[in-house]
Structure 1
Amino acid sequence: MVQECGAGLVRVKREGGRLAFAVPPLTRSGPVAEVVLSRIAAGLRLEREALLDASWLVDGPEWIGVLLDSADLVLGLRPDYLALAGLKVGVIGPHPAGSEVGFEVRTFIPGDASPEDPVTGSFNAGAARWLIGSGRAPVSYLVAQGTVLGRAGRVHIDAVGDDIWIGGNTVSCIEGMVLL
């Protein structure tokens, strides 16, 4: 299947009960200006030095990815949404070696009706390109997201050949049909 969205045409596949999409190319990546990083650190209520690395991860939505030292630090964040207004920020922290899950992710969209998203495919897609490309993540890993919101989101990342697939189990909440 092919889905048309803000990032263009995106391939989708089903494997068992899991749907996955092929990560589209990033339309913007690379360093984030220091003034923006200082603003993000303040919005996350962290010292600037706590942001180990950051990158633009634009694949439709204009995400800024921020790498922290640990999953515990990510889980402990209590963001100041007013300070983050106008930014889409995804925060990533590794779980300890041997954990079921490789990374903890949280995504913040201040000004949105729900300023924290329980599972974010577009952010995890850009983050996978960044983490795998920089050698910070293996070619296949599992992400936990939504933990702080009481959700048990799990995002499966698999690099196969030139493709990176982002997938997860889905739950249908509504079903319908459209006649064209």
Structure 2
Amino acid sequence: MSFDEVSGAIKSRLESPIFGTFSIYLLIFNWRFFVIIFSELDYQGKLREGNRVLEDYFWTSFGWSLGLTIICILVLPILKEVYEKFLNWSGKRVAISANRLKREINLEDLNARESLSNVLKSKQVLQEIVNVCDGRIEEFGRYHQVNALSGNYTSEIKQGLENSLREVSARAKEMKKHIEDLQKYYSEKS
């Protein structure tokens, strides 16, 4: 058996997940043994201390090394799989929540656009009302001029018409102002 064969066999065993993990843990838990080997004790002292360490700690460190190897080889992949499934699940939950929020935002945007459209339509209707009222006021002015020339009008009719037209005109202007405020509010919000 050549040196290359021996080094290849050792390398293949250390690359094995089970044997490599077990060897690393065995080295970690038997650190006292390596301290004794590299200490300045004489040969007999090293043997005596090495035997004591092996008698006191070897089986405990062997058990811990074996237990941790089993955990690393068997339990950790299972925990990794569970963790990855949790990440997948939570990622899907986040995506679902994001989609729901997008739909809600789109619905609110649609409602806001619809409200703004209604406000604009109401503004147009009110503008038509204001135009009609202005036309009526103008007609009333002409009626007043005609009646003043003919002298056949009564002050009660005049007062009633004026009050009615002022009231309608004031309400129309008030509604127009209210709609302009709503339009301004929605345009600022968009």
In terms of fraction of residues, the more strand-rich structure is 1
In terms of fraction of residues, the more helix-rich structure is 2
TM over 0.5, shorter chain: no
Q: TM class, shorter-chain normalised?
A: under 0.3
Q: Normalization by structure 1: what TM-score?
A: 0.18
